[in-house]
Each structure stands twice: as C-alpha cells, then as structure tokens.
C-alpha cells in the first residue's frame, strides 16, 4: 500500500504494522458495509487516540500500591479535553471517552464554501476553562487543512496555546500537513496514514470517500 513518505517536523504517523494496513484496506474498500466500516474505523481511531495521548507531557506522580510499596509513576501534566470538528469528528469521541474517563469534549462546526474554498465557522461550544487544558482536536480527514486551521483559530482565540494542541486524524494529504506546519509549527499532528496527494477537486487520493457519510449515513 503506497504512502507519501515526507512529513513535516510536527507530524507523526502510526507505525506500519500488518494490523494497520489491514484496517486501512477495509475502510478504503467501497464494498465495505456501513457496519463493517464503523467497526474497523473505531479500531483504527482507538490506535490514533492512544498515540495522541502518548505525546502529552507528564509529571512525576508518587503513589502507594496495594502491597504498601511506594511507586514512582507519572500523571498527565495538565487537564485534557477533546474538541471535535463536526460532523465527522464526532466519530472519534467514543474512543477518546474510552481512553479518558469523563473527558470534556467541545464541538466546532466549520464548513467550506464550495465556490471560494474558504472555511467558515458556524458554531463553537467549548469548555470555559479550555485555555488551561491540553486539547486533542478530532477530525478523521485532513485534505487542504482549511477546516482544521479555522478550528485552531477558534482555539487560539480562546487562549489555548499552540503547543498544547494535538490534531488527531485517520488520513492526511501531504498538502494539508505542509499547510498546517507552515501555519502552526508548534502544534503536533498524529495521523494514521498519509496518502499520495489531492486531486483537482481537493479530494484525497487514493482516499476512502467521505468519512462522515460512510460512518453516519
């Protein structure tokens, strides 16, 4: 399965494994049923969420075990929340809740004007203390980067520090990754796979279709 190999410094992709290639093959296949797509997409999203949590900073945490022994472990450095870019980003919320119990999740609705290609903000509901949190930004697909950039602008306007944003997605185009790095080099990106390019319609190729339509329709 071919993949773009050049990544900007702030982008990280999942390690190549047989499981990952198998999951990507299933969700790309146009004959995959909606039920199968949801099941295997959820498995893949869980891997991405866990990889995103791995890049969050930690601080030492000292505990006592059931045997009475002292143990020097770690805890997250600060509070964490998720922000999903509607509607496809909502597909990633369940996996985040499975990994972080009672995590707060905000939502942002950004839609692209088909004539101009510009992304417009229509709705934003975020935790009031989001400026104090590390933010996991959720959206399965990164094509041109327009929607993600608009969502990040909203986060920055609410006081979130760029270096405290981790953008998590399933499939990226190289063009989108490069635009994100040029605009926000201090944030991190975790992606499942990087495809070859965008076509003349700004669709990711070989791609997998419209993630939101296949997951929710």
Which residues carry out catalysis? 112, 116, 210, 213
Smallest CA-to-CA distance from 108 within 40, 189, 167 is with 167
- DSSP string covering 116-133: T--EEEEEEE--TTGGGS
Largest separation between any pair of C-alpha atoms in the chain: 66
Dihedral of alpha carbons 190, 195, 197, 203, sign: negative
Cβ atoms of 167 and 49 within 8 Å: the answer is: no
What CA–CA distances, in Å, run from 146 to 17, 22, 113, 169, 177?
30, 29, 10, 14, 11
Cβ atoms of 48 and 189 within 8 Å: the answer is: no
∠163-166-168 over CA atoms, to 5°? Answer: 160
């Amino acid at each position: 399965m071919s993949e773009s190999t050049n990544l900007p410094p702030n982008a990280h992709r999942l390690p190549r494994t047989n499981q990952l290639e198998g999951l990507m093959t299933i969700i790309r296949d146009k004959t995959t049923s909606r039920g199968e797509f949801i099941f295997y997409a959820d498995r893949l999203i869980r891997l991405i969420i866990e990889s995103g949590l791995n890049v969050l900073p930690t601080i030492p945490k000292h505990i006592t075990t059931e045997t009475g022994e002292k143990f020097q472990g770690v805890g997250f450095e600060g509070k964490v929340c998720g922000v999903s870019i509607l509607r496809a980003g909502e597909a990633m919320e369940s996996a985040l809740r499975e990994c972080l119990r009672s995590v707060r999740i905000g939502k942002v609705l950004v839609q692209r004007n088909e004539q101009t290609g510009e992304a417009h903000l229509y709705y934003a509901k975020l935790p009031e203390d989001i400026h104090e949190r590390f933010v996991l930004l959720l959206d399965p697909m990164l094509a041109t980067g327009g929607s993600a950039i608009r969502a990040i602008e909203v986060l920055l306007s609410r006081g979130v520090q760029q270096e405290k944003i981790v953008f998590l997605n399933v499939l990226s185009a190289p063009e989108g990754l490069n635009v994100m790095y040029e605009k926000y080099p201090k944030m991190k990106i975790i992606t499942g796979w990087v495809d070859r390019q965008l076509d003349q319609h700004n669709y990711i190729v070989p791609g997998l279709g419209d993630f939101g339509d296949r997951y929710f329709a």
